[in-house]
Structure 1
Amino acid sequence: MRSKAGRAIVALFIRKGHGVVDRGRIIKQTDEEIVRAYQEFKSAKKVAKHFGIGSTTIERVLRRNKVIRDGRHHYLVNVRAYSPEVEEVIAREYQAGAWACDLIRKYGGSNYSIERALERHGISKRPFVQPLTDQELDTIRSLYNSGLSQTAVALRLNRSDSFIAGVMRKYRIPARKRGNNDKRKRRYRYHHHGYVLVSLDKDDPFYSMAHLKGDVFEHRIVMARHLGRALRPDETVHHINGDGTDNRIENLQLRQGRHGKGAVAYCVDCGSHNIDHKPLPE
């Protein structure tokens, strides 16, 4: 610890403008020199590296002199992720109707970079969500009324579940009532292969088809309810039109074996898919 006489000498040294103190060491640079350097570099770390002293000392001097720390704002305003020529192209394409996500995939950068490039050309950014058109509203109404779930409609139109739910509330599209057997709200979610998973209650007669978490593919449970029996592991369900979210029974076919390589299972006499397999007699 420095004595009273030592502290008095240091204070006198500083008052005469000969330097500052960093952890008891006298630094040659004065407060004015450090402040001028920060106004030039706009970075406390760069000033510390320039003078060869600690960045904590620089920050302490800036606080003591009440210097506004606008270095980060200065950097964000002046930094450019694109060249001026690319920014002009981005501005033209954005005004022509391109979306920020498409421009990011094409030219790189981030959403913030696109916003700064548009601001430098005096263009205000459009809302992130694409506006709803009359044609899309009619499509949502027809798809939902045809029997598809809100999740399936959202996947078909490349929208979010919350967007579809908000549209239905705003335009008063009546939601289907659940049956008396549904004791809790049924959960839908997407599988990474493009199919729809649905949760079953433990007292559901087809709960044996569910996975460990109670989830089952919607197209399999639709086929099972249509046949009145649970599907076996070797039976698969094929989507006729190739859309994994279109789980209407008229779009489903029962198959034996893997998709694409198995044959369609049906009755050769009546054409029904309601068939079963039994072992050969010994």
Structure 2
Amino acid sequence: MDAVELARQVVATEIEALQGMAARLDGDFAKAIEIIRQARGRLVVVGMGKSGIIGKKIAATLASTGTPSFFVHPGEAFHGDLGMIKPIDVVLMISNSGETEELIRLLPFMEHQKNPVIAMTGKPESTLARYADVLLDVSVPREACNNNLAPTSSTTATLVMGDALAVVLSTLNGFQPEDFARFHPGGSLGRRLLTRVADVMHRGALPFCSKGECFKDVVHTITRGRLGLAIVMDGSVLQGVITDGDIRRAFDRSDDPLRMSAADLMTANPLSIDQQERFSVAEHRMREAKVNSLIVLDEASKVVGVLQIYDLSDQVSA
């Protein structure tokens, strides 16, 4: 059997495990969600070994999607870190066997503090499962490992169950993209959603012209401005925009385009946006309208800048 076929078998085995887990989801999952939502404290995730590695990812996903959560290593917990767990916290304990010694010996402390315990285990009859307030069954028919030993299908099932918790909680709690961005200010989504148009727009010596300017002067204004457009004004009032495309189209629709004025060339009532609007709104508006530029206005509807589609790309890749 070649490597590709073996890889397909691994993937198929893990998919089968996930399908079986999905079919078993029942009222216990809903109960776990309700316990977490009603808690006054945080969701503390505890796991050892591979379960601990998965637990760290689950805690991180929960925290980034609006459910306050953190990971505690069970070994460190037994040597002082139990002080991190308050009586108002819910504890999610992860152990495929349900008999992991480092976790089991923490159970008396949880009982003393009256912490609700959610068990995520592959053995519904285990010590951890029997003790817990709620059981989330992540059992799998077999590991994807050829020897049925290395945690593969079981860790995938555990991770996906954690994702299910995080996504359901964020959905029920009305978690929005803007909330996600607040927790990810360094990512591209954070930059999109937290950055304001005023932060990235072109400002300063903008390429203004009046409605009566001739063709030659309009082209000169576009060239000087280096934005591929000229902003047509009547005093301080925005009248229209002339783009490179408008100049090219003028040659198609006029026998003598050189005699056309800015008023003849311009697109009236151009799309604009407030300088305090979010970057993400500007991006959506430009892509939806299929335009390359937006005229930026201040609170008094005065033209203060130009935002271009290229600025969006620069901001995302920054």
| Greater helix content | 2
Q: TM-score, normalised by structure 2?
A: 0.25
Q: TM-score, normalised by structure 1?
A: 0.27
* Higher radius of gyration, 1 or 2: 1
Q: Which has the higher relative contact order, 1 or 2, with Cα contacts under 8 A spaced 6 or more apart?
A: 2
| Greater strand content | 2
